[in-house]
Structure 1
Amino acid sequence: MPSHLRHTIAPGDLPDSIARYLRAHRDHNTSTAVAAFTGDATVTDDGRTYQGATEIERWLNRSATEFTYTIELTDAQQIDPAHYVATHHLEGDFPGGSVDLRYQFSLRDDLIERLVIEP
């Protein structure tokens, strides 16, 4: 996605499904987080891809318990009506201790179809 099409938006202007997912993920509410995805959604995190609700639910449960960390939304961008990027700053007991991660969302029918998380 060309960077010249991106524009910064207020975090409150993120689509409802993304805001719902981010809130639920932060609160470790797996069932609400999974409900923000399409049934055939994919998540790519740390070089691994998870396909469908069952794998995404397992990934969310594991990521909620693997490390203790704080997460802060530091930037939100809209690329087009179906693509958004939410940048988060994480600090915790994971290797390195702090990282900025880009959560790249693709939407379909107002739900998250694809999420790629990378530095």
Structure 2
Amino acid sequence: MTEHTGPIEVTDLPEVVRRYLRAHDVHDVPTVVATLAAEATVEDDGRTYTGSAAIKGWLEQTNSEYTYTTTLVGAERLGLDQYVVVQHLEGDFPGGEVDLRYRFVLDEDGHIGRLVIAP
């Protein structure tokens, strides 16, 4: 069976990705961390965070540093366990607005094992 790749509806994203996005939008750090594998890796703004404690620290810092809103632009399936979500952010961060690509890679247990956030 061939896996569908390409643009998908948000409702077709895995529940763990949708849960991450909902929790991230409302700055619910415990729920975001619960979507991640214990040794997950997050890459954002040129830095890499590995493991729950480091990722929790990154989330708490970014949540307190800037105020912003997000608008979902689109979603895409790259393969069996890889998805990209594009979000438009507007806020008080340098530049004021940006489209960010959130690339999710799920692990064998259905958690987010890797997340890369980049323009």
Query: TM-score, normalised to structure 2's length?
Result: 0.94
Residues of 2 paired with 1:75 and 1:105: CA distance? 14
Inter-partner Cα distance in structure 2 for 1:92 and 1:75: 20
Q: In the alignment, what sits opposite 1:112?
A: 112
- Which residue of the partner structure matches residue 98 of structure 2? 99
TM-score, structure 1 as length reference: 0.94
Query: Which letter does structure 1 place at the counterpart of 2:9?
Result: A
Give 1:18-29 correspondences, 5 Å limit.
18-29=17-28
What letter matches 1:115 in structure 2? L
1:33-73 alpha-carbon deviations (Å, 9 max, x no partner): 00000001000000000000000111111111110100111
Q: 1: distance between equivalents of 2:14 and 2:40?
A: 17
Work out the CA distance in 2 between the residues paired with 1:72 and 1:13: 17
Corresponding residue for 1:30?
29
Matches within 5 A, 1:1-119: 6-108=5-107, 109-119=109-119
Q: Sequence identity, in percent?
A: 50
Give runs of ≥4 in structure 1 deviating > 6 Å: none
Instruction: Structure 2: state its 5+ residue gaps.
Output: none
Provide the aligned C-alpha RMSD in A: 1.0
For structure 1, which runs of at least 5 residues remain unmatched after alignment? none
